[in-house]
Amino acid sequence: MKDETFTRKLVAVLSVDAVGYSRLMQQNDVRTIQTIKKCREIIAQHVNSHSGRVVDSPGDNLLADFASVIDAVRCALEIQLALEEFNAARPEVDKMLFRIGVNMGDIITDEDRIYGDGINVAARLERLAEGGGICISGSVYAQVKHKVTFGCTYLGEHEVKNIADPIPVYRIWPDDKAGQCRVVDVKQSQATRPRWMVTGVAALVLALVAGGMWLISSNRAVAPQNESGTQAVREIPPEKPSIAVLPFQNHSEDKQQEYFSDGIASDLTTDLSKFSRLIVTAGTTAAQYKGKAIDIKEVGRQLGVGYILEGSVQKDGGRIRVNAQLIETANGSHVWAQRYDRELKDLFEIQDEIIENIVRSLALKIDEAEHQRVLRKVNPDLAAYDLVQQAWYQHFKRTRQGSRVARELFQKAIELDPNYAEAYVGLAQNRMRDAVLTWTQFPVKALEQAYGYAKKAIEIDASNAQAHTVMGYIYMRAGEYDLAIEELQRAIELNPNDWRSHRYLGAVALYSGRTDEALKWYETSMRYDPYISSGLLMNVGIGNYLKGDYDTSLSWLEQCTARWANFLGCHIVLAATYAQVGRMEDAAAEVAEISRLAPFFEVDIYGSAYHNPQDRAKIVSGLRKAGLQPSD
């Protein structure tokens, strides 16, 4: 074929790739094919609606070209929003994340196919993006920066395979209110920050390197497994009554009121958790039974509790109807049941009455001081309360869009009730998670805001355990362990069943060199929250690695990577563990995964998370033995 039959043109190229496709095919090929077909339909629909053309779609990839670079970028942003919404409605096992690269360059067309460096660069950019993320080249950014609104972080110039010159790379995400992309000058702002906030910059980087643990663990959790691989059954502790509050059913005609019934169950869980003579299962664990037909005896066995509280909520105008029943799991018998039909303004009194009835039914020996601490409330404005429940509902969708909506709702609640501590707690958690997950281009600023909101919540209500937990977490991430311990222990005093505070104390002990103490804190946290997160698997694996118990470490870490193939932290420690026991082929495979997930992983930066020099040396030596060497 002669050269003159080819056509050259300048186009925008969009490259899309599914994350973890091979692993998903191994787990369930039929389901994976069904999912990717639906995702391709969503992607193709958006390409067509932006005047683009799907050029090819082999396997888990899709390639499209656009005459307009603006259309290409808008299309990429809308694709990720649409896929985020698609995934939000699906079970965890069926979710599929895609990464997108967008480049502008000269290509050669041959009938329906295209060739050229412009395509190669788009593919390399896509590989630099995270699951659910978008990376664009400097040439694309120059064309769209004043014409399309998006959140943006400049990632610097990157050497990419088979391309001679470095490529300026920008990570972008949907954000209708974002300003112009810019790079944060950390050194310039350090002088005006407290010392712990400055160290928090490095701590946040380390959090990202390790995979992050902030609230993701509530969503990325599995039941503990026994040796046969089936779900383990917890033994019911004999010394204290134990209870789980299942999600309340929404009986309102408006199905959008789901957030309200969830909020009431969450409030009751929080209030019951404050009693020191009661063991209460975490609300995030009980939430797995939402909308399911259940066998009370089996749920009691799975959660290891003697009692279940279940119920329903119906909100109709200015009235509310709440049904609640306390059931003994051993025999399924009703211990107590009550129906409340009141005005909506009596909601908080209803909640207090339910708590009182449970305490009496279980014959708990509660001293007066604890009784008053649990039931003493400054009731918020009812409209503000409703906004906060909506905000939590959005927050726990664990999506970037949900995070933005939640933040706006928390802020509206504060406008209605400036002294509503829980709204400030919500904002603190929201900004902290945005920082750790890099859902903001200014993570250090988000960290500062989280600190300010948590501080304000404590000033308003010093007995708010959640506020102390968030503050302890912020201090922990900043490496201020003494301050973290103080806040987390105060949180446990206020809420003895606060599994997060126990787990965060485990992290503080682990990274400050008190390994045995860390493993005890983790064991205690699992008593209140039996469902194991990826972060917990990683840290218990680290603890056993540092103790030299490599077999136990492997059992935790291999479970982690089997369930969460893209969780970087477990791959890091697993590589070191394999190397220490001489399984060098397995170690090399883990190194390859680390390179895939974090192309710029730094051994020494990761090692600096461990404050004990001996721990640091042990983890770094294991990683180097696995084949990970420090950069030049």
| Residues, the chain | 632
Domain positions in the chain? 3-182, 233-377, 380-461
So what's the pLDDT on residue 357? 82
Q: What is the mean pLDDT of each run of 10 residues along the chain (632 residues)?
A: 63 88 73 88 94 83 91 95 86 81 83 74 86 89 87 76 75 72 38 45 44 35 38 49 89 81 87 82 82 86 88 88 91 89 88 83 66 67 91 88 92 93 94 81 80 93 91 83 89 87 90 91 84 86 96 94 88 96 96 85 80 91 89 49
- DSSP character string of 429-445: HHHHHHHHTT-SS-HHH
For the chain, how big is the Rg over CA atoms in Å?
A: 26
CATH homologous superfamily of 3-182 equals Nucleotide cyclase, GGDEF domain (3.30.70.1230)
So what's the pLDDT on residue 418? 93
So what's the pLDDT on residue 517? 92
Scanning 174-247, the segments in alpha helix (DSSP H) are: 186-190, 195-210, 216-219
Report how far apart, in Å, the C-alpha atoms of 80 and of each of 42, 75, 104 are. Answer: 10, 9, 20
The domain defined by 233-377 folds into Rossmann fold (3.40.50)
Residue carrying structure tokens 């708990």: 364
So what's the pLDDT on residue 491? 92
So what's the pLDDT on residue 116? 77
For residue 36, give both structure tokens.
């990717």
So what's the pLDDT on residue 23? 67
Q: Please name the residues in contact with 173: beta carbons below 8 A apart, sequence gap of 6 or more.
A: 77, 80, 133, 134, 150, 151, 152, 400, 439
The partner residues of 328 in beta bridges, in order of sequence, read 307
Using left for φ > 0, alpha for ψ between -120 and 50, and beta otherwise, residue 538 falls in: alpha
> Residue 16 in contact with residue 79, Cβ under 8 Å?
yes
> Residue 590 in contact with residue 571, Cβ under 8 Å?
yes
Assigned CATH for 380-461 = 1.25.40.10
- Say how far apart CA 380 and CA 378 lie, in whole Å: 6
Element (H, E) at 155: strand 151-158
So what's the pLDDT on residue 102? 96
- Say how far apart CA 290 and CA 102 lie, in whole Å: 40
Residue carrying structure tokens 């649990």: 374
SS3 213: coil
